[in-house]
């Protein structure tokens, strides 16, 4: 091991405070140090993940206070997998945004990279913490850095998008705090494992009220309908790589908080149709809205919301196959959607409006980026042999096992809608003539950006041709989420002794 | 109903009233500054609720000191107070970010009226 899980939070926070100071002496450090920190976080979480696969879940107690009293960080097959994906995507986004647009300036780069690092640290914190109030704090860290990153460009409408996001974010955080108060007043604990163990003692009315407040509180980060009004604006107005970071990192943390709350805290594994209902509404509304968008990034944002709806539907089935399919979808979405955002950002580089019509015939000018964009589009709409196909197939088989024919029909219809709106873009990109009067001036993509795109494309092809390379890990993660008793025992250190 | 319970109900009622007043301001006011004030009022209500839950009438500080070893039964629950301190700091941070965004919005649109700032539609 190269460290303990607490470094995943402590190192980026420390670096965020030190960067402005070091930046006074050595200007380039504001770009390089965040990259080093994110690379270290990736290596650390990957090595911890491999360690816990061999030795079982690792529970870190902070400052020597044992689990029900102190704050603990839980690094299990599920949280480890998500933390590894998030830190890796954080590194890819850093690689891409190194010297991206106004990041060549010192002041802009300083703010951008500090907030990017805090965004990744907060998202990882949401996933690995074992304490609901701690989770609230991390949700606020993610929120504040996300507002700042959304408002990064002056002169656009970015402040308006950020303000919208801020109002929704802080109202939902208030709801989350109320939910935490209700749980604390009823059970006298903030530890997730102890809440899960004692949830039966809670009055059923308070349980339902607390759950509703939790859904409102977490739903904004998880982009569920109708709490996702911020998402299209924020994705459109934020810098391109930040859109990739939102869809690849922040939303995954929101979804995790949602399912951890639903599966572990409020054990409702029986009639758990509420997640299916929320997911289906989100899916249908988002995909039909994506169909009529004229701006590229807005379309990608709606597509992202729709995918999260599908993830929630798959989680909502509550079976092993369903959870497996949902995690597979999350993994694929975390790889593919950043690829779309990053390559789409290169295609629409010299425009502020990002209309789809402005990239007409760009394949003649920027063939490699266009092919990578098309690869992502084909993968996310679930065409074989790309990775998206396997995850969609596993959703369908999981639904078939449960005899949920309506869901199968809806998912297939939605897939057709996805193909329609992605192929509309691909058609314009490849089969239209380049027209100077409509299209934007092509921009030569940077070297580091192309490396980031090729890494993501390589992962899509790898998972597409060898799905067995990841299914084993996803299987373990699905088992981990469903096994509530094991989680409680591990965190509260009942039964077996823990590995030190 | 004895006095302690009345006080408790009063505290809970006041905090819920504050939350509702703040929500009303956020939802109906047109000025960006007033919306932020509304958010702060909601925060205040929630903090009061948190403190109210941990309050014990006639309680003491949760510190062991010579001469008051019997204080365990009368101690005020310290956890909600720690939570409130954290929540206040977070609320302060969010308000600061919001106000800086309002400055940006005012420079861009030359108004604080939310009805006139609608370049982005859903």
Question: Is the C-alpha dihedral spanning A273, A277, A278, A283 positive or negative?
Answer: positive
Q: Are A184 and B53 inside 8 Å of each other by CB?
A: yes
The answer to whether residues A228 and A302 touch, using CB atoms and an 8 Å cutoff, is no
Interval A104-162: pLDDT, tens: 677 778 888 889 899 999 999 999 988 889 899 999 999 999 999 888 887 778 888 88
Residues 6 or more apart whose CB falls under 8 angstroms from that of A16 comprise A114, A117, A118, A121
Candidates A464, A290, A286; CA nearest to A382 is: A464
pLDDT (0 to 100) of residue A2? 63
CB A239 within 8 A of CB A457: no
- Those residues whose C-beta lies under 8 Å from the C-beta of residue A433, and which sit 6 or more positions away, are A360, A361, A364
Residues facing residue A58 across a β-bridge: A75
Residue B41 predicted with pLDDT over 90: yes
pLDDT surpasses 80 at A192: yes
Average pLDDT over residues A256-281: 79
Distance CA A191, CA A219 (A): 21
> How far, in whole angstroms, is CA B59 from its chain's centroid?
23
Residue among B80, B94, B108 whose CB faces A144 most closely: B94
Whether residue A455 lies within 8 A of chain B, CB to CB, comes out as no
Alpha carbons within 13 A on the beta-carbon side of A288: 9
The mean of the pLDDT values for chain A is 84
Could you tell me the pLDDT band of residue B99, with boundaries at 50, 70 and 90? very high
- Angstrom CA distances, B75 to A73, A139, B4, B56, B95, stand at 29, 31, 16, 7, 33
Comparing alpha-carbon positions, the chain A residue that sits nearest to B16 is: A178
Hey, is A60 helix, strand or coil? strand
Nearest CB to A174 within list B46, B104, B122: B46
Give the gap in angstroms from C-alpha B111 to the nearest C-alpha of chain A: 12
Whether A267 and A140 have beta carbons less than 8 Å apart is answered as: no
| Distance of residue A55 Cα from the nearest chain B Cα, in angstroms | 34
Structural domains of chain B in order of their starting residue, each with its CATH number: 3-116 (1.10.287.3510)
Give the tens place of pLDDT for each residue, A217-241.
888 888 888 888 888 888 888 888 8
Q: Which of A16-20, A25-29, A435-439, A495-499 has the highest mean pLDDT?
A: A16-20
Give the per-residue pLDDT at B22: 92
Q: Tell me the pLDDT of chain B averaged across its residues.
A: 83
A58-61/A72-75 β-pairing: antiparallel
- Structural contact between residues A362 and A113, judged by C-beta atoms closer than 8 angstroms: no
What DSSP designation does A446 have? P
Say how far apart CA A268 and CA A210 lie, in whole Å: 14
Confidence of residue A277 (pLDDT cuts 50, 70, 90): confident
pLDDT in the model for residue A122: 92
ipTM of the predicted assembly exceeds 0.85: yes
Interface test with A, best of B97, B113, B119 (most A CBs within 10 A): B97
pTM, to two decimals: 0.91
Among A70, A167, A180, most B C-beta atoms within 10 A, so best to mutate, is A167
CA A481 to chain centre: 17
* Alpha-carbon span A292 to B24, nearest angstrom: 34
């Amino acid at each position: 091991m190269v460290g303990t899980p607490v470094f995943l939070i402590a190192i980026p926070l420390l670096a965020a405070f030190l960067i402005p100071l070091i930046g006074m002496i050595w200007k380039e450090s504001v770009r390089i140090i965040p990259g080093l920190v994110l690379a270290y976080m990736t290596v650390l979480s990957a090595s911890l993940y491999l360690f816990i696969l061999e030795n079982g879940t690792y529970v870190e107690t902070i400052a020597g206070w044992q689990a029900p009293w102190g704050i603990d960080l839980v690094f299990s097959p599920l949280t480890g997998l998500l933390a590894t994906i998030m830190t890796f995507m954080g590194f890819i986004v850093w690689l891409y945004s190194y010297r991206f647009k106004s990041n060549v300036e010192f002041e802009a780069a300083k703010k951008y990279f500090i907030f990017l690092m805090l965004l990744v640290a907060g998202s990882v914190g949401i996933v690995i913490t074992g304490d609901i109030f701690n989770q609230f704090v991390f949700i606020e860290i993610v929120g504040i850095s996300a507002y700042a990153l959304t408002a990064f460009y002056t002169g656009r409408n970015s402040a308006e998008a950020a303000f919208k996001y801020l109002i929704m974010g802080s109202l939902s955080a208030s709801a989350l705090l109320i939910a935490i108060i209700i749980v604390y007043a009823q059970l006298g604990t903030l530890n997730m494992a102890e809440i899960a163990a004692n949830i039966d003692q809670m009055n059923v009315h308070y349980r339902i009220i607390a759950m509703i407040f939790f859904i409102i509180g977490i739903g904004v980060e998880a982009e569920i309908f109708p709490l996702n009004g911020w998402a299209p604006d924020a994705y459109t107005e934020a810098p391109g790589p930040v859109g990739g970071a939102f869809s690849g990192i922040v939303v995954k943390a929101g979804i995790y908080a949602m399912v951890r709350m639903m599966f572990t805290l409020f054990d409702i594994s029986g009639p758990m149709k509420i997640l299916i209902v929320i997911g289906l509404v989100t899916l249908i509304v988002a995909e039909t809205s994506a169909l009529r968008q004229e701006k590229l990034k807005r379309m990608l944002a709606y597509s992202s919301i729709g995918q999260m709806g599908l993830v929630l539907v798959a989680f909502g089935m509550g079976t092993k196959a369903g959870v497996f399919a949902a995690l597979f979808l999350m993994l694929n979405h975390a790889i593919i959607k950043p690829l779309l955002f990053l390559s789409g950002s290169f295609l629409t580089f010299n425009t502020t409006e990002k209309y789809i019509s402005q990239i007409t015939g760009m394949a003649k000018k920027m063939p490699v980026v266009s092919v990578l964009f098309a690869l992502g589009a084909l993968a996310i709409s679930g065409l074989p042999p790309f990775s998206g196909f396997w995850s969609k197939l596993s959703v369908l088989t999981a639904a078939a096992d449960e005899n949920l024919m309506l869901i199968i029909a809806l998912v297939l219809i939605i897939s057709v809608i996805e193909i329609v709106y992605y192929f509309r873009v691909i058609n314009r990109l490849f089969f239209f003539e380049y027209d100077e009067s409509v299209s934007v001036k092509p921009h030569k993509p940077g070297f580091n950006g192309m490396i980031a795109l090729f890494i993501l494309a390589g992962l899509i092809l790898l998972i597409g041709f060898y799905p067995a390379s990841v299914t084993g890990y996803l299987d373990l993660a699905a088992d981990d989420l469903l096994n509530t008793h094991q989680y409680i025992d591990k965190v509260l250190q009942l039964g077996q002794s823990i590995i030190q | 109903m004895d006095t302690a319970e009345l006080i408790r109900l009063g505290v809970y009622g006041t905090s819920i009233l504050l939350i509702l007043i703040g929500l009303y301001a956020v939802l109906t006011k047109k000025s960006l500054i007033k919306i932020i004030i509304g958010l702060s009022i909601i925060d205040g209500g929630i903090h009061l609720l948190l403190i109210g839950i941990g309050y014990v009438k006639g309680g003491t500080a949760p510190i062991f000191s010579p001469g008051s070893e019997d204080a365990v039964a009368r101690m005020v629950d310290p956890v909600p107070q720690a939570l409130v301190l954290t929540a206040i700091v977070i609320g302060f941070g969010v308000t600061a970010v919001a106000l800086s965004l309002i400055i940006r919005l005012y420079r861009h649109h030359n108004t604080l009226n939310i009805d006139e700032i609608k370049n982005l539609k859903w």
